[in-house]
Each structure stands twice: as C-alpha cells, then as structure tokens.
Structure 1
Amino acid sequence: MRIVLVGPPGAGKGTQAAFLAKNLSVPHISTGDLFRANISQGTDLGKEAKSYMDAGNLVPDEVTIAMARDRMGQPDAAKGFLLDGFPRNVSQAEALDKALATDSVKLDAVLDLEIPEDEVVRRIAGRRICRTDSAHVFHVANQPPKKEGVCDICGGELYQRDDDSEETVRRRLEVYHTQTEPIIEHYQAQGLVVTISALGKVTEVTERAMEALQRARSAQG
C-alpha cells in the first residue's frame, strides 16, 4: 500500500508509522530521515538542503519533493511506502500528485489521526526529560517519576523542554491547522482520506489503523 500519514503534533504519528510500516512490510519515509540520509551521504540534494538549513532558511518544496521521489523510487518501495511528515502543505500535496502521476503510481489512502487539542497539550506539555540522559523520558500523568523532578534511572534532574511548553504546543497546533490540515480536504476530494481516533493504547490505535486501511484497500478493489 502507498499511504500518507497525517495528524497534529502529539497524535503519535512517528510511533504509528513505525508499527504500520512493519505490519504492511513497506518502508517508513519521513522528511527528517530523508534530510539526514541525503546530507550524511553527501548527495547533490543533501548539499542543496544543507545550504538552506545552514543559512537558517526553510528547504524549498522542490528539494524535499525530489528527495521523496528518489526514495519512493528505490527497490524496497516498489510495493508501497508510508509517508510521514510529507506532504506538509497543499502545494507539496499537489506536487506529489504530479510526481506520482508521472511515475504511474497512485496513493491508496491518506490516514488521518484525529485527536482533541486538549489531549495533544496534555500529552506534550506533560513530558519531562532527564538533563543527564535525554533518552530517559517521563510524563507527569502517564509515567510519573517516583520522586518529582528526579529521574528514576540515573537520578538526573527532570525538566520540560521549551518546545514542550503549553504555549509552544498551541503555536505548533496553529501552524498545523493553517498549513497541514488543508491537505486533508485536498485528499478528501480524491476519496483517499481515512480518519481514525488516535486516542487509546498504541496497540489499539495500530489495530484501528490496520482495519481502516484494509477497508480502504478493499473498497478500491
């Protein structure tokens, strides 16, 4: 299957993308991974992207699209792929449509992870990171440390990242509503959108997603 994964920050896209890609036996293609791979390998696209990033500028859509198209053309993506974090806006979605049409490839579904804003804020703003080892992550509600402000694993100080503050989270949500959410309407016009709730345990959301994707594939014949 060829799938685009959409959802606001805090919906669990990264986690679900990994599980879904494994269950569907397709590569998980994220924008971040594309940039890192091209830059580390020193490709022409990687060098171009790095020049923009080093200057503090956004990487142009055409560079991102070229990277995605190159990745989707690799052998392991011949039977499908899962795009995570791309397309990020309607112009990228339209460019992706053209690129896929040129390659005689069609998307099977756009999986929309739906979650209330207040839950997004609760999930992200509740995170606490260990200053000693950032791999040690806790949550004030879901996974609180035994002692407030202290890492259970190494005793380091737990803190809230600036990116995880409620104010920052709400700004990120505004950006999502303004820039990314409109792609859902773009794909609804093509009959591709499948919406599921992102609430519940990770396994429950994955099962929900797999069932929805299977229905979408059956509906397309």
Structure 2
Amino acid sequence: MRIVLVGPPGAGKGTQAAYLAENLSIPHISTGDLFRANMSQGTDLGKQARAYIDAGQLVPDEVTIGMAKDRMGQSDAVNGFLLDGFPRNVGQAEALDVILKDEGVKLDAVLDLEVPEDEVVKRIAGRRVCRRDSAHVFHLSYSPPKTEGVCDVCGGELYQRHDDSEETVRTRLEVYHTQTEPIIDYYRAQGLVVTISALGEVADVTARAMEALKQSTEG
C-alpha cells in the first residue's frame, strides 16, 4: 500500500505511522528522518538542506521533494510506503503525483487523523520534560509526575519546552491550517481521503485506522 498520513501537530502521526507501517510491512518515511539521513550522509540534497537550515531559512520544496523521491525509489519501498510529513503543501502533493505517475503507481489512501484543536493544545502544552534527561517525559493530565515539577526517574527538574507552549502550539496549528490542510481537499477530490478520529488509546486508533484503510482499498 502507498499511504499519505495527514493530521495536525499533536495528532499522534509519528506514533501511528510506526504501528501502521509495521502492521502493513511497509517503510515509514518521515520528513524528519529524510533530513537527518541526507545531512548525516552528506548527500548533495543534504548539503543543500543544511545550508538553508544553518542560514535560518526554510528548506525549499524542491529539496524536500528530491529527498522523498530518492527514498521512495529504494528497494524496501517497491511494494509501498507510508509518508509522514510529506507532502506538506499542495505544491508538494502535485509533485508527488508526478513522481508516482512516472513510476506507474498511485496512492491507495490518504489517512486523515482528526483531533479537536483544544485537545491538540492540551496534549502538547501539558508535556513536561526532565532537564537532566530529555527521554523522561511526563504529562500534566495523562502521566503526571508523583511530585509536581520533579522527574520520577532521576529527580531532575521538569520544564515546558518553548515549542510546547500554548502560544507556540496555536501558531503551529495556524501554519497547519494554512499550508497543509488544503492537501486534504486536494486528495478528497481524487477520492483518496479516509478520515478517522485520533482520540483514545493508541491501540484503538491504530485498529480504527487499519479497518478504515481496509474498507477504503476494498471499496
């Protein structure tokens, strides 16, 4: 299967992508992984991306598209893939259509993870991270520390990252609504969009997604 995963920040795309890719036996291709791999390997695209990032600029679409095209062309993606974070806008979606058409294949579904905006803010703004070890993460509502402001594991101070502040989250949501959400309408016009609720336990959301994908492709 060839799937694009879409959803706002805090929808759990990374978590669901990993489980879905494993269940479907296809590679999980995320934009973050593409950038890290290309920059660490020193590819031409990686060098271009690093130059923009070091200059504090956004990486142009053509660089991201080039990385995605290379990754989708690797042997483990011959029978399918799950794209997470790409395409990020309609221009990238149009480029993806061209890439797939040139390869003689097409997308099977675009899975849209739906989460109310207030829940997104609650999920992200409630996170607290340990200053001693950033792997120790808590949540004020879902997994609170035993002592407020103190890491259960090592006793380090818990703090809210700048990226997790409510103001930053709402800014990220606005960017999502403006840049990425339009691809849902773009793909809906092609009859590819499958929307599910991303509320509830991780396993329940995964089961919901698998069933929706199954019905979509069988239909």
Equivalence for 1:65: 65
TM-score, reference length from structure 1: 0.98
Q: Number of aligned pairs? A: 219
In the TM superposition, residue 138 of structure 1 has moved relative to its aligned partner by: 0.3
In the TM superposition, residue 25 of structure 1 has moved relative to its aligned partner by: 0.3
Mapping for residues 35-114 of structure 1, pairs under 5 Å: 35-114=35-114
**CA RMSD of the aligned region, Å?**
0.6
Unaligned runs of 5+ residues in structure 2 are none
Equivalence for 1:32: 32
- Deviation digits for residues 10-55 of structure 1, max 9, x if unmatched? 0000000000000000000001100111111111111111111111
- Deviation digits for residues 64-106 of structure 1, max 9, x if unmatched? 1111011001110011000000000111111111111111110
In the TM superposition, residue 183 of structure 1 has moved relative to its aligned partner by: 0.2
CA distance in 2, matches of 1:200, 1:116: 12
Unaligned runs of 5+ residues in structure 1 are none
Mapping for residues 1-221 of structure 1, pairs under 5 Å: 1-219=1-219
Secondary structure at 1:194's aligned position in 2?
Answer: strand
Secondary structure at 2:199's aligned position in 1?
Answer: coil
Amino acid at match of 1:150: V
Secondary structure at 1:135's aligned position in 2?
Answer: coil
In the TM superposition, residue 131 of structure 1 has moved relative to its aligned partner by: 0.4
Secondary structure at 2:63's aligned position in 1?
Answer: helix
CA distance in 1, matches of 2:169, 2:56: 22
CA distance in 1, matches of 2:164, 2:129: 10
Amino acid at match of 1:14: G
Amino acid at match of 2:81: F
TM-score, reference length from structure 2: 0.99
User: Between the two proteins, what is the percent identity of the paired residues?
Assistant: 79
CA distance in 1, matches of 2:145, 2:6: 32
